[in-house]
Chains A and B, each alone.
Chain A
Amino acid sequence: NAGVTQTPKFRVLKTGQSMTLLCAQDMNHEYMYWYRQDPGMGLRLIHYSVGEGTTAKGEVPDGYNVSRLKKQNFLLGLESAAPSQTSVYFCASSSQGPDTQYFGPGTRLTVL
């Protein structure tokens, strides 16, 4: 029973490098979300998707891009990583209603 999985679990990047974080869910959920969590800031929404082929900006979208080509996958891209993007990234998915939002285990990203 996988639920929501995230790849990779850890990553260290140098400033200016690019990478893609993958989120996959096997619950046939329509809605998917990317958050970042920083000490003292709480969880903040980066981008979200309300269905396959759709994406929308959240609270802190700058420096990130997303794609939802398949219903089960939601990709978060960093084109040119910056130290300010050092954070823990969580993906979540939900079906109908906010109380069904399930989170993945997170990706710890460090940008040097």
Chain B
Amino acid sequence: RKEVEQDPGPFNVPEGATVAFNCTYSNSASQSFFWYRQDCRKEPKLLMSVYSSGNEDGRFTAQLNRASQYISLLIRDSKLSDSATYLCVASRGSNYKLTFGKGTLLTVNP
């Protein structure tokens, strides 16, 4: 079983829609979690960290459930510019190595 698994997608949604991405991790020793965004043929960039208490950044909300080993990302009022691949990421150990999910492609249509 892969250490970080995501919805395979792809997701195609209209502008203004709400879309949710789900992710599970298998290693209970994972300590930190993130969502990265990757535009086509570009490098990944940190979108937001994920905390047990949940965190929000504008239209984006991330949640972590350690008991279920589950992470989510909610995007409200989708914009065309949200079209990208969203990568679920887990980290463990003192060397800050990141383990990436395969990513979920989102396309927001006009």
Chains A and B are bound partners:
yes
Residue ranges of B at the interface with A (Cβ–Cβ < 8 Å): 32, 34, 41-46, 49, 87, 91, 95-103
27 intermolecular pairs with C-beta atoms under 8 Å apart: A31-B96, A41-B102, A42-B87, A42-B100, A42-B101, A42-B102, A42-B103, A43-B44, A43-B87, A43-B98, A44-B100, A45-B97, A45-B98, A45-B99, A48-B97, A56-B95, A58-B97, A90-B43, A97-B96, A98-B91, A98-B96, A101-B46, A101-B96, A101-B98, A103-B44, A103-B45, A104-B43
Nearest CB of chain B from residue A80's CB, rounded to whole Å: 27
A33 at the binding interface (Cβ < 8 Å) = yes
Residue of A nearest to B91 (CB): A98
CA distance A107 to B93 in the complex (A): 28
Beta-carbon contact of A105 and B102 below 8 Å: no
Interface size for chain A: under 10, 10 to 19, 20 to 34, or 35 or more residues? 20 to 34
Chain B residues within an 8 Å CB radius of A50? 95
SS class, residues of chain B in contact with chain A: strand
Closest 6 CB pairs of A and B: A103-B43, A98-B91, A42-B102, A98-B96, A43-B100, A42-B100
CA distance A33 to B93 in the complex (A): 15
Tell which of B43, B44, B98, B103 touches A98, judged by Cβ atoms closer than 8 Å.
B98
Chain A, range 62-112, C-beta contacts under 8 Å to B = 90, 94, 97-99, 101, 103-106
* A46 nearest CB across to chain B (Å): 11
Question: Whole-angstrom distance between the alpha carbons of A94 and B97 in the complex?
Answer: 10
B98, chain A: closest CB distance, angstroms: 6
Partner of B32, one of A42, A48, A98: A98
Cβ contact within 8 Å between B43 and A105: yes
Q: Are the CB atoms of B103 and A105 closer together than 8 Å?
A: no
State which of A43, A48, A99 has its C-beta within 8 Å of the C-beta of B49. Answer: A99
Q: Which residue of A lies closest to B43 (CB)?
A: A103
With A42-B101, A42-B103, A90-B43 in contact, is A31–B32 under 8 Å at CB?
Answer: no
